[in-house]
Amino acid sequence: MDGFLLLKEINSPNDLRKLPVANLQKVADELRSFLISTVSKTSGHFASGLGVVELTVALHYVYDTPKDKLIWDVGHQAYPHKILTGRRDELETIRQKDGLHPFLWRKESEYDVFSTGHASTSISEALGIAIANRLLGKDEKVVAVIGDGALTGGVAFEALNHAGGLQENMLIIINDNEMSISESVGSLSKHFAMWLSSPSYAKIVASGQNVFSGLPLIKDLAKRAQEHIKGMVTPGTLFEEFGFNYVGPIDGHDLPTLVTVLRNMRELKGPQILHVATKKGKGYLPAEKNPTMYHGVPRFDPPKGVEVAAKTGQCSYSELFGRWLCEKASKDKKIVAITPAMCEGSGMTDFAQEYPDRYFDVAIAEQHAVLLGGALAAGGLRPVVAVYSTFLQRAYDQLIHDVAIQDVPVIIAIDRAGVVGPDGPTHQGVFDISFMRAIPNMVIMAPSNLQELWRMLNSAYNYPHPIAIRYPRGSASIDHLICDDACIDIGKGEVLVKGKKVCVIAWGPMSWVIMYYFKSKQADFTVVNMRSIKPLDLRLVEEMARTHDYIITYEDGYKSGGIGEEVATFVQTLPDNLCTVEVVALPDEFIEQAQVDEVYQEYGMDPQAIYQKAISLASKVECKEK
Catalytic sites, residue numbers: 280, 366, 394
What are the backbone angles phi and psi of residue 183, rounded to the nearest 5°?
Answer: -70, -20
d(C-alpha 120, C-alpha 151), whole Å: 6
Is-contact 603 586, C-beta < 8 A?
A: yes
Reduce the secondary structure of 315-350 to three states and give it as a string.
EEHHHHHHHHHHHHHHHCCCEEEEECCCCCCCCCHH
d(C-alpha 104, C-alpha 271), whole Å: 24
Distance of CA 619 to the CA centre of its chain: 44
What are the backbone angles phi and psi of residue 38, rounded to the nearest 5°?
Answer: -80, -50
Which helix H or strand E contains 60, and what residues bound it?
A: helix 53-62
What are the backbone angles phi and psi of residue 407, rounded to the nearest 5°?
Answer: 55, 50
d(C-alpha 492, C-alpha 46), whole Å: 44
Coil, helix or strand at residue 461:
helix
Could you check whether the bond before residue 249 is cis, i.e. omega within 30 degrees of 0?
Answer: yes
d(C-alpha 571, C-alpha 218), whole Å: 78
Which helix H or strand E contains 415, and what residues bound it?
A: strand 411-415
- 85 residue type, one letter: T
d(C-alpha 306, C-alpha 294), whole Å: 8
150: closest CA among 108, 126, 117, 180?
A: 117
Residues 6+ apart with CB under 8 A from 429: 388, 389, 390, 414, 416, 417, 418, 419, 420, 470, 472
Q: How many CB atoms lie within 10 A of CB 358?
A: 18
Give pairs for 289-294: CB < 8 Å, separation 24+: 291/47, 291/51, 291/177, 292/344, 294/46, 294/47
13: closest CA among 51, 66, 49?
A: 66
Q: CA gyration radius for the chain?
A: 28
Please measure the distance between the N-terminal and C-terminal CA atoms of the chain and give it in whole angstroms. 67
Is-contact 47 127, C-beta < 8 A?
A: no
Is-contact 415 341, C-beta < 8 A?
A: no
d(C-alpha 250, C-alpha 278), whole Å: 9
**Cα distances (Å, whole numbers) of residue 71 to 113, 125, 233:** 6, 8, 29
197: closest CA among 266, 276, 270, 271?
A: 266
The two beta strands, 502-506 and 382-388, are unpaired
Residues 6+ apart with CB under 8 A from 457: 321, 324, 328, 411, 413, 469
CA angle 252/253/256 to nearest 5° reads: 95
DSSP 8-state code for residue 381: -
